[in-house]
Amino acid sequence: MTDPLPHASPSWQWGDWVLRFVIALQGLGVGGRYLFSSHETESDVYGWLYFDHGWPEATAQRIDDVGAWACCLASLFVVLGGWLAMPRGPVDRSQRRQRFGRYLEACAAITVAVWVLALAITHSLRGEIYAEWSLAEYAVRYGAPLSLLFLQRDGRMTAAATMHRLGLGLLMLAAAVTFFLHGYKALQGYGPFTDLILLTDQNWSDFGWGQSFAESALVTIGIVDMLVAILLLATRWRWLAIYMAFWGALTAVSRITASGLSAWPETLIRAANWGAPLAIACYLTYRSKASSITIASKVSTARSSSP
């Protein structure tokens, strides 16, 4: 008995669409930060090429802009591709469109993944505090688009099922690694995290939280983050993923609550921090239902074949 077709399941489709929107938002966030926000700046790719390797500034700038624009375009194409790939109408007529949609989506996802990975690698090489952990810290940002490549596959059932398992595994690993790293930084009392709490309070709630309170809170937050990350991988319990989605959204939005609306690219660029766990929750819901159906089906088969 094989699993039911994933793409026919609403929860699986929700997962795919969450991932697509996450990639799109993240691409727009990259565009905002490096191209068109009022505080647009250059990325670490530019810095690495220009400062560390002596490339001409114009070349480094051009490469930087191309990467950011590619992410912006990819954010459109990943949604368009997903829409085209949706099955509808007579099978024969829609097959070509669906295939094109998947190719488009895959290209867009690869583009975002590669550029975000480039940002992570170059950041890790540039000597700032915790920079050596950038590949792990940004894991969910490039892990989400990479996992979509696997999760949107269909075709022969067994091959697709393998791809789906790989994709979900990759997505969970990426989300857990990012969560764990953020937990570690919180546990270490990372200054900017303290400021997110204090400035948010200062701007909004005015409880008068002091640094000692914020640092104590960060210790708790850090321990919880690290535990949740480990437990997600160990148990695959979807409520953990839902908690991660909630907390990821809160921390992404805290960039705006602390620094004002002009920090919107910082919130968008962290879309995967909440979006990936949300997608995981959708996929785990599907797997849970599929598992129930499979068990029920096996029980039914066993009953009917019994004398």
Nearer to another protein, 128 or 234 (CB): 128
The 10 Å CB-count burial string (b at 16+, else e) for 223-247 is: eebbebbeebeeebebebbbbbbeb
Nearer to another protein, 86 or 114 (CB): 114
Nearer to another protein, 3 or 105 (CB): 105
Structure tokens, 175 = 């989300």
d(CA 171, CA 256): 26
Shortest Cβ 39–another protein spacing (Å): 4
Q: Is residue 98 classed exposed, middle or buried when 0-12, 13-18 and 19+ CB atoms within 10 A define those classes?
A: middle
Residues near another protein, by CB under 8 A: 33, 37, 39-42, 48-54, 57, 61, 63, 70, 103, 106-107, 110-111, 114-115, 118, 121, 126-129, 149, 153, 155, 163, 166, 191-192, 194-195, 198-199, 202-203, 210-211, 214, 258-260
Residue type at 243? Y
Shortest Cβ 128–another protein spacing (Å): 5
Place of tokens 């295939």: 99
Nearer to another protein, 73 or 242 (CB): 73
C-alpha distances (whole Å) from 58 to each of 54, 61, 145, 226 are 11, 5, 29, 42
Shortest Cβ 244–another protein spacing (Å): 25
Shortest Cβ 15–another protein spacing (Å): 20
Nearer to another protein, 5 or 129 (CB): 129
Mapped onto helix, strand or coil, the DSSP state of residue 174 is helix
d(CA 280, CA 70): 26
Shortest Cβ 270–another protein spacing (Å): 15
d(CA 78, CA 104): 7
Nearer to another protein, 212 or 305 (CB): 212
Nearer to another protein, 109 or 282 (CB): 109
Cβ neighbours for 46, distance < 8 A, ≥ 6 positions apart: 60, 61, 63, 64
Shortest Cβ 283–another protein spacing (Å): 19
Shortest Cβ 57–another protein spacing (Å): 6
